[in-house]
């Protein structure tokens, strides 16, 4: 009787599809497909890496496949995915590549921060944030100088790390007639600026007293923006700190 049972189990096992086939089987549930994907974790064979790269283009498998490629150290497959037509694939690939912290990937990730899709550019920036500050600093400085939403995020990271370059960039941004750049610059000057920044901020505080509606600027449901109020806030923060060692 035991022989019959073991034989039946062997036949069933022999007929079971391999994980790659199961993962790509549209006839089974999404959960079953992801279970099969998870079963491939740690598998570094060329066939599996190729199958996982293809799975990145399946929204139902993308997260699992991306994680598997990272665990497998499949840098080449993820780097190739940076040129995929699907923005979500490019974004995931950039984010996963950042976890490797390989210096040779910095140029490629920096290029992706200029992707026209914000999903991609912001994930590429997050990938740069994975690197130790001294390594990523030149790339973040370049982005911050460019301004725009991604540049503003890069500036904030530089300020958080206490990078002195952040204040210099912020001083340039407050002179640009762009609301987002000016606000980002004033926030940073409030944190890192000194009394030499007060005259420029005073001009903004006096001149830009009108509240500007964010409608049509991609801000969503937000209250009106007052550059004058932001300037006064930055000035108050600088004055509260008093003169820096450099100014004494």
Residue 90: in which H helix or E strand, if any?
Answer: helix 87-98
Per-residue model confidence as pLDDT tens digits over 179-203: 999 999 999 999 999 999 999 999 9
State residue 16's pLDDT score: 58
User: If you write DSSP's letter for every residue of 134-190 in order, what string do you get?
Assistant: HHHHHHHHHHHHH-HHHHHHHHHHHHHTT-THHHHHHHHHTTSS-HHHHHHHHHHHH
State residue 211's pLDDT score: 61
pLDDT-flagged residues of the chain (< 70): 1-16, 209-224, 244-248
Q: Angle at CA 204, nearest 5°, toward 202 and 206?
A: 70
- Parse the chain into domains and list their residue ranges: 17-73, 85-131, 133-242
State residue 207's pLDDT score: 87
Q: At what angle do helices 179-192 and 148-160 cross, to 10 degrees?
A: 0
Per-residue model confidence as pLDDT tens digits over 216-229: 444 444 456 789 99
Distance CA 64, CA 53 (A): 11
Query: Residues 52, 68: contact at Cβ < 8 Å?
Result: yes
Residues paired with 225 in a beta bridge: 212
How far CA 182 is from CA of 21, 86, 188, 216, in Å, comes to 54, 33, 10, 18
- Strand extents, DSSP E, the chain: 211-212, 225-226
State residue 60's pLDDT score: 97
Nearest partner of 97 among 116, 85, 83, 117, judged by Cα: 83
Distance CA 64, CA 99 (A): 16
């Amino acid at each position: 009787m035991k022989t019959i049972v073991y034989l039946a189990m062997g036949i069933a096992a022999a007929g079971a599809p391999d994980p790659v086939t199961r993962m790509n089987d549209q006839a089974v549930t999404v959960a079953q497909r992801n279970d099969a994907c998870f079963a491939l974790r740690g598998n570094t064979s060329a066939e599996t890496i190729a199958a996982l790269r293809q799975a990145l283009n399946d929204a139902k498998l993308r997260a699992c496949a991306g994680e598997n490629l990272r665990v497998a150290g499949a840098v080449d497959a993820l780097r190739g995915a940076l040129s995929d037509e699907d923005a979500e694939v490019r974004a995931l690939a950039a984010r996963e590549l950042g976890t490797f912290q390989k210096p040779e990937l910095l140029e490629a990730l920096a290029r992706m921060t200029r992707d026209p899709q914000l999903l991609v550019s912001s994930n590429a920036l997050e990938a740069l944030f994975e690197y130790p500050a001294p390594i990523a600093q030149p790339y973040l400085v370049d982005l911050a100088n460019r301004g725009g939403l991604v540049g503003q995020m890069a500036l904030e990271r530089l300020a958080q790390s206490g990078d002195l370059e952040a204040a210099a960039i912020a001083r340039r941004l407050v002179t640009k007639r762009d609301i987002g750049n000016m606000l980002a610059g004033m926030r940073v000057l409030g944190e890192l600026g000194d009394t030499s920044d007060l005259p420029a901020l005073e001009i903004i505080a006096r001149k830009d007293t009108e509240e500007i509606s964010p409608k049509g600027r991609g801000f969503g449901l937000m209250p009106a923006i007052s550059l004058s109020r932001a300037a006064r806030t930055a000035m108050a923060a600088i004055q509260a700190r008093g003169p820096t060692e450099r100014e004494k």
